[in-house]
Structure 1
Amino acid sequence: MTTISGTDYASLGLGQQQATRSTSLGQADFLHLMTEQLKNQDPLKPLDNNQFLGQLAQFSTVQGIDSMQGAMAAMASVMESDQTLRAAALVGHEALVSVDAVPLQRGAGLRGEVVAAAAGPVTMDVVDANGVRVRRMTVEAADKGATAFEWDGLDEAGNPATAGTYSFRAVSGATDPSAKDAELLPIRANARVDSVSIEPGGLYLNLAGMGSVPLSAVHRIG
């Protein structure tokens, strides 16, 4: 809103008591001030018409901006509520999300997709939080694009992998996924949506055994 300083009030012939009532102008206040300004103007130097119209236009612009801001805030609130309701309907469904690292329970395993660059074999490594390879698998991609995979939660020796955070690295062909120059393929994981959280950064899906991921990370709901 437009604000008027104490010196501005004094120039309009208003008392200090009136000036201290409020520093925020409403439409009625503005019109009152304009009237007082006209009443107390110097007869020899009357208010210029262009200046008067300019003040009216300025006040109208400020009012318009305030109204627009209020309307935009209301619209944003409605959109956020609608998005929250839609996200709540996802609870209980399977979500396919992009992942870099996944926290897993002992021997839990993981199902998902690897986005193959072309038809042929895809080599995938399961790596623990210390960077140690736990399991190497080969997935045959029938064509370029999403190819399903499943890790049974067992290590190379056939024992259940310990609980912890695991990373999945995949490359086309038989090259080493752990090589520094390896061109890694995107990997997505399946998990059940347990609940939805509203955070300052937006909506998050709480996935069974995987923690929270932003709604933007979801590729498919099944």
Structure 2
Amino acid sequence: MTTINGAGQSLSYLDQLKGMQDKKIAEEQPTTGTNQLKQDDFLSLLTKQLAQQDPFKPVGNDQMIAQMASFATVDGINKMNEQFGSLNSAMTSNQALQASSLVGQDVLIPSASALKSHDGEMAGMVRMQQGVDNAILRVENEQGVLVKTVTLGAKSAGEHPFAWDGKDDAGNVMPQGKYNFSVSGNVGGESQQFEVLTHANVNSVLLGNSDGKVMLNLAGVTKPVNLAEVLQIGKSAQSAAPLSTQQG
């Protein structure tokens, strides 16, 4: 189906749709706050094309079906986008409801720093890509001062939980505050640092914006942590026992 513009040129149905879209974008309609073609625009254009068609060359059935199929496709995509938006909102609300049950619990996150309370122990986990003969754990306070060195011994590749009893090398109980953990070992004759994960207590739950993410406010962590980054809820029984106080 075609119409004739002011310059005597033949315009296809899709060309006219594109022209209307470009015109609406250029005009920037401030009253409606939108520059997208609506269903009424398609119907109005289709009606005008039918009224202005060449009576000696009427629109063929195949052309009519093709254009109606294009209209149905665009309308279906718009409805699908609306449904996906509703589904995303529902999933975000459901995630937030589930995450609210985490408030007050400890979660394991990929962070080498954690907050120590008055009552002592701190737990975490180390990930090793390769086995080592003798791994060393170092605990530093927030100022970067080394307060504890522990020999972990031989460790195979994998994840290994640990716990610190909250005391320094001299056996003194350390005050509350933030502490940093690092684990190293010799691999192929060279010293290598391994990824450390620590536990943190969940203070509250935050709903994300349009991205649908659910964030957690954790004690001792300055920025909210994505719920997807949580690797474990609660402390495992193995990590509950303090590490040996053997110094490296």
Q: TM-score, normalised by structure 1?
A: 0.69
Q: Distance in 2 between matches of 1:30 and 1:213?
A: 46
Alignment RMSD, CA only? 3.8
Q: Distance in 1 between matches of 2:42 and 2:20?
A: 13
- 1:37 aligned residue: 49
* Alpha-carbon distance, 1:162 to partner: 7.2
**Would you say how many aligned residue pairs link Structure 1 and Structure 2?**
201
1:183 partner SS = strand
* Alpha-carbon distance, 1:82 to partner: 0.8
Gaps of 5+ in 1: 9-21, 176-180
Q: Distance in 2 between matches of 1:141 and 1:96?
A: 23
- 2:83 aligned residue: 71
* Alpha-carbon distance, 1:59 to partner: 0.6
Q: TM-score, normalised by structure 2?
A: 0.63
- 1:13 aligned residue: none
Alignment-mate amino acid for residue 107 of structure 2: A
* Alignment of 1:209 onto 2:213: no
* Alpha-carbon distance, 1:186 to partner: 2.7
- 1:123 aligned residue: 136
* Alpha-carbon distance, 1:161 to partner: 5.6
2:197 corresponds to which of 183, 188, 199? 188
Q: Distance in 2 between matches of 1:94 and 1:5?
A: 57
- Structure 1 window deviating more from structure 2 (182-191 vs 100-109): it is 100-109
Q: Distance in 2 between matches of 1:214 and 1:70?
A: 26
Q: Distance in 2 between matches of 1:94 and 1:137?
A: 24
Q: Distance in 2 between matches of 1:213 and 1:165?
A: 17
With over 3 angstroms needed to count, the CA separation of the structure-2 counterparts of 1:85 and 1:63, relative to structure 1, is same
* Alpha-carbon distance, 1:164 to partner: 6.4
Identity score, percent: 33
* Alpha-carbon distance, 1:140 to partner: 4.6
Please say if residues 107 and 162 of structure 1, whose CA atoms lie closer than 8 Å, have aligned partners that are also in contact.
no
With over 3 angstroms needed to count, the CA separation of the structure-2 counterparts of 1:49 and 1:91, relative to structure 1, is same
